[in-house]
Structure 1
Amino acid sequence: MPTLPTTAAEPTVTLPATPSIRRRLATMLYEGVILFGVVFIAGYLFSTLTQQRNGLTHHNLLAAWIGFVVGLYFVWFWTHSGQTLPMKTWRLRVVTADGTALSAPRAIARYVLAWLWFLPPLALHPLLGLSLPHTLLAAAVWFVLWTATGRIDANRQFLHDRLAGTRIVAVGS
């Protein structure tokens, strides 16, 4: 188990083991299933309240609303228990680099940085005028590269966790 550096007066703190990359990716897949329902309800609420009759009407505002709702979902769970439902199922918890619970600003930073999994390749679509197959290929390559950051890091954490000062740990055995 990794230990954190300490000063002479402090005892050594031992953090739980880092779960495998496969386990964390399975959690992300399950998270996508849960988020489908969250996004559906948020979209329905938005379209009902704005009397939206066309998908192109207020589409930028809808995207911002859904981003806000999804962010609220993650930040609330990460700051209250350190776990979303899929994380509980797969026995994972998000904590700070030193093993303490996340504060709201750190959880928000982690949420924003987690968008790096998707936004860079998707931004290439309009910037370079890529076709849909080329955009999907770029997204797939980016996803594999981003996943590889979990293998390169000494603590087996993905880059967004490293940048946010957080880590995923296993809960129980």
Structure 2
Amino acid sequence: MSTIRPLLLALIAVVTAVLGWGASLLTAANSLPSPVLHATSLITIGAGTLITLVLGLRVRAYQRQRSEFRDRERRRQAGEQGHARGAEKPVEISPVLAARTLVLAQALAYAGAVILGWHAGVLVDLLGVARVGSDSVTLSLIMIGAAGLMSVVGWAVEQFCKVPPGDGPQPGPDGARGESNGDEQGYAPGAGG
């Protein structure tokens, strides 16, 4: 599974901005309302972003607990004294949950880029004909902010699902390891494939 590329997110935003601008021109020419999402869509955007963030924080907490446990075990095996207490063995998370969290994070980032671009294009057209305090302009600005937050949270949660170099799963009996993205970082168990 490939990682989110910020340049690709920017390209998606630019392409959808052009589409949003064109759609806004068409609706204005046909005396239709601006193609802006309704304010109630903020509930869906907020819920999706919050759920993704909570699931991502869960994966991140697991990664941190696992790292602390491994460090303690290495010190204990090396015979260091004073490290008998410390991190407990982390409660395993479902590989399916980790994979779904990763996919959800990537979908959130891409959806945020699309919504951001669309409303930026609509805003460009609206600023030429509407005053700054109008409902459509205000709603476009709010959607741009919410969509930007979606993309940032999606990207951040994807980063939570990555396994630091050297902390990945140990080779199994068949020699297989966790998936890597080419820079020696893989994903949390089950999140890469």
TM-score normalised to the size of structure 2? 0.27
TM-score normalised to the size of structure 1? 0.29
**Larger CA Rg, structure 1 vs 2:** 2
Higher relative contact order (CA 8 A, sep 6+): 2
